[in-house]
Amino acid sequence: MTSVECIWPAQTILGEAPTWCPQENLLYWVDIEGKLILRINPQTGERKAFPQEQEFGCIVKRSKGGFIAGTNAGLAYVDADLTAVDVFSTPEAEHPRNRFNDGKCDRQGRFWVGSTDMDETEPNAALYRVSGAGEVACMIPGVIESNGLGWSPDDKTMYFTDSGHGVIYAFDFDADAGEIDNRREFVRVDMAESMPDGLTVDAEGFIWSAHWGGGRITRYDPHGRIDRVIPMPCPLVTSVTFGGDGLEQMFVTTARLGLSKDELEQAPLSGGLFVLDAGVAGLPDIAYQG
């Protein structure tokens, strides 16, 4: 059994989107419903939470300083102190019940970020690509709930999760052009049992997916076959990323949204941040080159 440690019992309502910054040895993550950005130094244990006016679905380091983020108000730049938020694009203004959800950068520094129908019923959300010049392009329409993203080590495949359809998709990826093609089902999850949420890709090209409602993380081989399952001590597992020295630690975010009093008594660490040794190194999180 893999040892799983809670390093911050933060009780986030909807903890999500962990991202590792190697220059600072810091992990950033968000509490969407709690309107917080959180930061921790896993080596020293130093923690800080930054209250926000918006709901942040994700936040990624920016090469020019500060961050780029997806929020319920639109796409935004955020200063290094996590206090000033500048919304620069609102591509889904016609859908007031949508907000931006998960997002991360490809190795060329383009920011890929998806939206979600907050009622999780209508396919009126999408996945977008933001270039270094700040140009926003819709890449995948007809999404219910955008979630985990990742790229294979050879940069030839992109993975994208639509939790609302219970599917992780794979695409052929043109790294130079930032284009995707040949959409196909990589993994379909039984929605009666759990939903695929955030994901990451390790250095061996295997895909790790968090299971909302499933209380576990699943590692899939590049053909979509289950390679390994790691049980978690709470049911709502939201996302995963690698960090720490050599990217050999896996950080896992969780939530407590909608859990009953009895469920919280059974899983009191729900909403906490966890770390585990996955036995494999990860791939680095990339800053937005803009």
Q: Known catalytic residues? A: 197
Phi, psi of 197 (to 5 degrees): -120, -125
Report the amino acid identity of residue 227. D
Contact 37, 82 (CB under 8 A): yes
- Residue 267's CB is within 10 A of a number of other CB atoms, namely 19
Cα dihedral 69, 71, 77, 78 sign: negative
Phi, psi of 46 (to 5 degrees): -65, 130
Spatial separation of the C-alpha atoms in residues 55 and 185, rounded to whole Å: 30
Contacts of residue 225, defined as CB under 8 A and 6 or more positions apart, other chains included, come to none
> Kindly report the CA angle at 65 between 281 and 70, in degrees rounded to 5?
75
Q: Pairing state of beta strands 136-143 and 67-71?
A: unpaired
Spatial separation of the C-alpha atoms in residues 71 and 277, rounded to whole Å: 31
Spatial separation of the C-alpha atoms in residues 8 and 29, rounded to whole Å: 12
Residue recorded with tokens 């939790």: 163
- Residue 176's CB is within 10 A of a number of other CB atoms, namely 7
- Residue 93's CB is within 10 A of a number of other CB atoms, namely 10
Spatial separation of the C-alpha atoms in residues 252 and 7, rounded to whole Å: 10
